[in-house]
Structure 1
Amino acid sequence: MIDLQRDGDVFVLRLDDGENRFSFEMCRQINEALDEIEAAGSPAALVTTGTGKFFSNGLDLDEMIAAGEERAMDYLRGVLDVLARFLTFPTVTVAAVNGHAFGAGAQLLVAHDYRVMRNDRGYFCMPEIDMRLPLHPFMTEILRERLPLTVTHEVIVTGRRYGGEDAAAAGIVDHAVAESKVVSTAKSIASGLAAKADPVMHVHKRELHRRVLDVIGAPLPV
């Protein structure tokens, strides 16, 4: 489901489960991988990528529905906790976006410090407006904080799909590059900042993103 490898001072976390939706098991394995990185001791940075056509296609709605109303909120909180962990991780994080990043997958993208996206295929999109689904306040706040406000408005209100070049122009990603260069570009950025890794980075990020973290326990709006 996931693969974690270390190349010098860069860990590469690869999501490898088809559409890479956030199932209970996917969240568990991601947390285990992040635990391993934190326990490594020596300074390092993190690159996250997917496989095939998908970076991540977001929530596993079938699993969420099957969980029932009470456990569904536990499921959603588990996903938000994973996103918050990336947002405040004590190393520099770089998303190497190889394909589609939809919904919670788009949130995973913006939770990284830096983002590199494939320029020829794959979209960034928050499709909840077309699915008639409310966004959890955490999801709204992370977009408001991490993206330009006018872009956040378009992302949430219209559900626009951004290809790599458009995403770079809008400030959603930092670089749009050829497929063959996505991971290598991300690793280059990560390696250049790997020495910054430190528990104090978590403290800085936690305070920087306090407004987002403060609403993680809020109920879904109705």
Structure 2
Amino acid sequence: MRLDFKHGIHVLTLTNTRDGNENTLTTNVMNDYLAALDAVESFSGNTALLITCEHEKTFSTGINLEWLNSQDDKSKKQFGDAFNTVLCRIALLNAPTVACINGNAYAGGAIIAAATDYRVMRNDRGRFCLPEVNIKIPFNSVTRDTVNLLPNQKVVKDMVLTGVAYTGIECLEHDLVKSIHPANELQQAALELAMQLAEKDRYTYCHIRNGFRANMADHASAMGLTYVGKDPVDVLSI
């Protein structure tokens, strides 16, 4: 993956699509995410994080199961812990977050998108899917609470219990994404949304958002992570 800075926005581009790889997730990929999140967190001034992909058909298809099944128990746990940490840090990042879903977002890839504040998607290609029930991987407390950040709980129930895959048009109808766009307009629309969010006072935005994500905050606290709103400060609130 590659982290760029464009128009005041940190743009994280997923690039691991060579040799049939579909931006699948491994421990090394999680470490790359964590390094990118470190860079955004340490940036002073208003900004936002935009997660996108250079591939026209795939955002991320989730965990690399072939790789995971080849790991020993210790390595599997290390991956699981790293994945949970990435989800909490995206959900509670000290800046607004947007996912630009340019193609298929499945399983862990869809969960990462669910951790962001807003999602935009192509209107003509790609599916958004949580197929864990079909691949026999139950949700843990962190992944479950991340998925529950999606705004339509009835649709979330259907997604997790049936593994249904939704198109961009269906995602918009179900309020899973903020907007859908043709492929040639998607990246610009996502960037403009991120720029709009970055105009908000960074601390206030994150304090409000994190206050509505109490379950994720509890997970982050249990991991020893810090986040906006964790420690009481003397600010006006209503």
For normalisation by structure 1, the TM-score amounts to: 0.90
Who wins on radius of gyration, i.e. which is larger?
2
Cα-to-partner distance string for 1:125-160 (whole Å, 9 max, x where unaligned): 011111122111222222223231110111101100
Contact 2:47/2:202, CA 8 A, preserved across alignment? no
**Unaligned 5+ runs, structure 1:** none
Unaligned 5+ segments in structure 2 are 224-238
Q: CA deviation at 1:92?
A: 1.1
Corresponding letter in the other structure for 1:16: T
Cα RMSD of the aligned pairs, angstroms, is 1.9
Describe the SS at the equivalent of 1:171: coil
CA distance in 1, matches of 2:83, 2:203: 23
Question: Secondary structure in 2 aligned to 1:214?
Answer: helix
Aligned to 2:67: 63
Equivalent residue in structure 2 for 1:188, among 186, 192, 195 = 192
- Structure 1 pair 61–4 and aligned structure 2 pair: CA distance change class (3 A): same
- The answer on whether the counterparts of 1:47 and 1:93 sit within 8 Å (CA) in structure 2 is yes
SS in 2 for 1:145: coil
Deviation at 1:45, TM superposition (A): 1.2
Identity %: 26
Distance 1:199 1:56 in 2: 30
Deviating more after overlay: 195-204 vs 133-142: 195-204
The residue aligned with 2:164 is: 160
For residues 124 and 84 of structure 2, what CA distance do their matches in structure 1 show? Answer: 29
Cα deviation code 1:94-128 (max 9, x no counterpart): 11111110001101111111110011111000111
Amino acid at match of 1:168: L
List aligned pairs for 1:29-178, cutoff 5 A: 29-52=32-55, 53-178=57-182
CA distance in 2, matches of 1:58, 1:202: 27
State the aligned residue count: 217
Give secondary structure in 2 for the equivalent of 1:196: coil
SS in 1 for 2:211: helix
> Partners of 2:52 and 2:201 in 1: how far apart?
20
Contact 1:117 1:173 in 2 (8 A): yes
Change (3 A) 1:71 1:205: farther
